[in-house]
A and B are shown apart, each in its own frame.
Chain A
Amino acid sequence: MNFDFSEKEREKKSALSGWLGKEFPEPFPPLDRNRLEEWTKDFLHKAASLDFLLTTGNDPALCRETPYSEMLLSVLLGEELARFTPSLALSLETSCRLFGWLLARYGDEDQRRRYLLPLQQGTLLGTVALAESSANFPDTGVRTEGRKKDGVFLLRGKKTLVVNAPLADCLAVSGVTDEGRAFFLLPRRSPGLAYEGPLDTLGFQHLFLAHLSLDDCQVAATDVIGPFADDQPFHELSLRQQLILACVSLGILEKALFGAQKRAGEKRENGKPLRAQQEIGFKLAEMFTLYQTAQWLLYRAAWMLENTIPEAEITVQAAKVFITEAAEEVARSAMQIAAGEGFLSGNELEACFRDARFGPVSGETSEVLRMRIAEACLAKYQTR
């Protein structure tokens, strides 16, 4: 047992924090949505100068050995990025730690050369397209279908709420074939691929999100990952996604907490700082308690997954539910502390409030995960 960061973890976390502080002056500038693509690509290009940000969690040698290599380090970096800007964190984590990981673990050498290498060099943004309106990933029931015809696959179906679309240079789209489920690698402007979006959303203003329509998109056999005999790769991807959503929510939680703390220290009421009012001090204490609890739960869940500890899956699911909901609670309290000012658009705490709403509804919702957690708990006693 060791609750301290390892040398490597401390070093990378601190390097990322230092780099972000140096490259991007605080507070994070408001971005013009029309210039977001340019800004994101520029960020990726700069990020490549850090030798780990785009490569952690997608080293092919490590990924081939275990599905969850560098999971703890991944969430540490994700947390750091999300504290900086949640939109960018989710975008980059989806690209590097989901799309990149998929290629590293299941892609062939040619696919890795064509897609993973540019991703790691900061010249490619990727994504995974999983959800459908009638199929909650990772359950089977996916309707997107890849039919084989004349040596190529024709991909047909719809995907919803795809992070990074339509900006992503390459999309890994999940679908079914006659031989099992697979991922189809689609370049951004493939014939037959249409985007609905970028979608207007409550929060995550700097994130691209779109629905996809796939109308007989041609995919060469060399751009297919799979088909797989079982759902294991999808399951692995789902667990990774849950941790990413949890770590991004933790970053939002931290932003809200420390933003509110700063506000409570600056504003004075009745001749003393707001934080000296017991009700405000207690609220901050409750927020801080959720913060520390969420942080340790995230680290432990990531560590358990990385080390294939029994029941890691339940812990990851518990972490996703607890942390995303804690972020909402803390963001709500932060806005309350900031009072009317926290309600104004452009205020950091107002953005946290809107951003935090995404966690519990994204990926697998809190309700779905609670069902899964309960079923796993009940199964332990059903079999005896």
Chain B
Amino acid sequence: MDFSFTEEQLLFKEQVLKFARKEIVPRCQEHDLKGEFDFQSFRKLGEFGLLGLHFPEEYGGSGADVVTATLAGEALGEAGVDGGLTLSYGAHTYLCADTLFRHGTEAHKKRYLPKLISGEWIGCMGLTEPGAGSDVTSLATKAVKDGDSYILNGSKMFITNGPIADVAVVYARTSQGKERHEGISAFIVEKGDPGFTPGNKLNKMGVRTSYTSALFFEDCRIPADRLLGKEGEGFWMSMETVEWDRSTLIAPFLGGMAFVLEKACRYSLERRQFGRLIAEFQAIKHKIADIRIFYEAARSLVYRIAWCKDQGRPVNHLEAAVAKLFIGDWSLIPANHAVMIHGGYGYCHEYDVERTFRDSRLAPIGGGTSEIQKMIISRLMS
């Protein structure tokens, strides 16, 4: 066993930290309070190379490994980048662009990847539906072939980047198979396609700078060559995104633990009560220790999923669910402790820990709730 990172990986993480602290973080609070997507920061992520980290250079990427991409996500969280931007970045890069890269034709790749990698275009993935959340196999959006076109009808819900996406990977049912997961296919839908309308952005508790909305398809006609792969392969494509979700997408939550640790330490070394620094109180120290303990406990779970993906191993759904469940449920504790250490100030928008607390609430919900992870673990254990 060897838990070391390469020098390049560590150096890159350091560079991302510096970049994010200088270029992105100063803008986070304002955008979070307004609930506005930060287009400028998103493009800066593209300029820095983060939107195309693991893609081949020929499409504008850097050819980085998954561990490096995971460290980059962790660094964004550690720097204090808000959860909205990191979520938008994750959905854009790993749920949309990566699916296009893995299953698109060369023409698809040439058309979409350079624009997505530079940040000129924004991507999203349409999988969840009003009646198909954690149970994706019950999705009802239909795609019917009509000559050289497919016609899509249905709607999607809780789609990150939905209102601003230039391109979407959309999952729809093309047939009814014996098993519920059969007959699901993936399509590329572009902004402006007839019959495609994004809904209004939802007002959320946290990750407020990422726009979330419904997507509506009403006799939405798209060219037949926008089918990704073959009909019926969609379910497996969506499952591939699980690996990304359990590594690069949850990495910012991991980094968020390091961020609140720093905030908690700094604040407790400034704040005085009863004539001494609150850092001197055991109750405060124990909270600080717990943040660090949970951060240490969570790290290997995430790195392992990334490393396995780098080795080309198929996703281990048991381990992926464990990582998601632990990060999801346990990242709430550090954020909560940090708020408590800040006392009344921690409840105010002015303090970053308040935002991190709100943002972290998504971790056990998004990408498969904790309850779904428990179902998976319980089933696979036996």
Instruction: Say yes or no: B325 contacts A285, CB within 8 Å.
Output: yes
Indicate if A275 sits at the interface (CB-CB under 8 A): yes
Which residues of B (287-322) have their CB < 8 Å from a CB of A?
288-290, 292-294, 296-301, 303-304, 307-308, 319, 321-322
Check B262 against A381 for contact (C-beta < 8 Å). yes
Looking at the complex, which one of A285, A293, A314, A382 makes contact with B298 (CB distance below 8 Å)? A293
- A292: which of B2, B290, B322 is its contact (CB, 8 Å)? B322
Check A314–B288 contact: CB distance below 8 A. Answer: no
Q: Shortest beta-carbon distance, B265 to chain A, in Å?
A: 5
> In the complex, which of the residues A292, A294, A314 has the most CB atoms of chain B within 10 Å of its own CB atom?
A292
Q: Determine how close the nearest CB of chain A comes to the CB of B11; give it in whole angstroms.
A: 15
B residues in contact (CB < 8 Å) with A:
1-6, 67, 261-262, 265-266, 268-269, 279, 282, 284-286, 288-290, 292-294, 296-301, 303-304, 307-308, 319, 321-322, 325-326, 371, 373-379, 381-382
| A–B pairs, 24, beta carbons within 8 Å | A1-B2, A1-B303, A9-B1, A261-B381, A275-B378, A281-B379, A285-B321, A285-B373, A285-B375, A285-B381, A288-B377, A289-B322, A296-B300, A303-B1, A303-B3, A318-B292, A318-B293, A319-B296, A322-B296, A369-B289, A373-B289, A374-B288, A377-B265, A377-B288
Write out, one digit per residue, whether chain A residues 293-306 have a CB within 8 A of any chain B CB (1) or not (0).
11011011101100
Task: Check B382 against A261 for contact (C-beta < 8 Å).
Answer: yes
CA of A24 to CA of B338 in the docked complex: distance in angstroms? Answer: 50
Question: Is A28 interfacial (CB-CB < 8 Å)?
Answer: no
Closest to A323 in B: B297
- Whole-angstrom distance between the alpha carbons of A293 and B266 in the complex? 28
Are B265 and A322 neighbours in the complex by a CB distance under 8 Å? no
| Alpha-carbon gap, A7 to B75, bound state (A) | 33
Q: Which residue of A lies closest to B280 (CB)?
A: A378
Q: How far is the CB of A193 from chain B (nearest CB, A)?
A: 37
**A282-B289 contact in complex given A2-B1, A288-B322, A314-B296, C-beta closer than 8 Å:** no
Residues of A within 8 A of B284 (CB): 374
Is B5 within 8 A of A275, CB to CB? no
Q: Contact check: which of A4, A6, A9, A282 meets B371 at CB < 8 Å?
A: A282
Contacting B301 at CB < 8 Å: which of A275, A292, A378, A382? A292
Interface status of A284 (Cβ within 8 A of chain B):
yes
- Complex Cα spacing A1 to B371, Å: 31
The 9 closest A-B pairs by CB, nearest first: A281-B378, A374-B285, A285-B377, A296-B300, A370-B289, A285-B374, A373-B289, A318-B296, A374-B288
Q: Is the CB of B2 within 8 A of A2?
A: yes
Contact of B5 among A1, A288, A315, A318 (CB under 8 A): A1
Q: Which of B261, B289, B304 contacts A3 (CB 8 A)?
A: B304
Docked pose: A261 CA to B377 CA in angstroms: 12
A31 at the A/B interface (Cβ < 8 Å)?
no
User: How many Å from the CB of B267 to the closest CB on chain A?
Assistant: 10
A380 to B269, CA, bound (A): 11
On whether A318 and B67 interact (CB within 8 A), knowing A281-B374, A286-B374, the answer reads: no
- The 8 A CB mask of A305-317 against B (1 = contact, 0 = none) is 0010100001100
Are A1 and B301 in touch, CB under 8 angstroms? no
CB distance A289 to B326 under 8 Å? yes
Task: Report A-chain residues with C-beta under 8 Å of the C-beta of B308.
Answer: 3
Partner of A381, one of B265, B294, B299, B319: B265
The residues in A between 103 and 146 inclusive whose CB is less than 8 angstroms from any CB of B are: none
Contacts A1-B67, A3-B1, A381-B266 known; list 7 others, CB within 8 Å. A72-B1, A288-B322, A289-B377, A318-B293, A373-B292, A378-B285, A381-B262
Name the residue on A nearest B299 (C-beta).
A300
Known: A286-B374, A292-B301, A315-B296. Is A303-B2 also a contact (CB below 8 A)? yes
